[in-house]
Amino acid sequence: MRKTALLNSDISEVISKMGHKDMIAIGDCGLPIPDETRRIDLAIIKNLPTFIDTLKAILLELQVEEVILATETKDINPKVFDEIKEEIKDTKITFISHEELKVKLKECKAVVRTGEQTPYANIILKSGVVF
C-alpha cells in the first residue's frame, strides 16, 4: 500500500510521468474537457470532492513552478482565488482568459474533474523540478 498521502492511482501515475513544464489541470464539474486530454473524474456528488481539497492533495505530490488561472476567477470567485493563493504560497500566477484556459487544456497531461459547483474553480499546474 502507498505510504504517501495521495492514494488515487490515476493522479499518481500522471504526476510520476510529468517532467519540467508539463501541465495538469484541476477543474470544477462543468469544465469542458477536450476529448484528446485524459480525464480523471473524481466527481461523486455536488461539491464532493471540492476543488480546493483536490488541489491540496495534488500539491502534496507535485512540485509546481507556475499556476495558470482564468482572470475571471479572481473577479467572479474571489473566495476560491484566496484559497488558491493560500495553498500555492509564492508560486507564480499567470492569468489568461477563461476561453484561453479551456484551449490550453489540450496541452495538459490530464484534467482532474472535481464535484465543485462554483464558477471558475479551475487551475492549470505547471510542473517544476525538485533540484
The pLDDT tens digits of the residues spanning 6-55 come to 899 999 999 999 999 999 999 999 999 999 999 999 999 999 999 999 99
What's residue 1's pLDDT?
A: 65
Is 20 assigned a catalytic role?
A: yes
- Name the catalytic one among 7, 9, 17, 20: 20
What's residue 66's pLDDT?
A: 98
The pLDDT tens digits of the residues spanning 90-129 come to 999 999 999 999 999 999 999 999 999 999 999 999 999 9
- Cite the annotated binding site for substrate by residue number: 28, 98, 120-122
Would you tell me the crossing angle of helices 78-88 and 51-61 to the nearest 10 degrees?
20
Residue 8 contacts residue 42 (beta carbons within 8 Å): yes
Write down the domain spans for the chain. Answer: 21-127
Statement: 21-127 belongs to CATH 3.40.1650.10 = yes
- Cite the annotated binding site by residue number: 28, 98, 120-122
What's residue 5's pLDDT?
A: 86
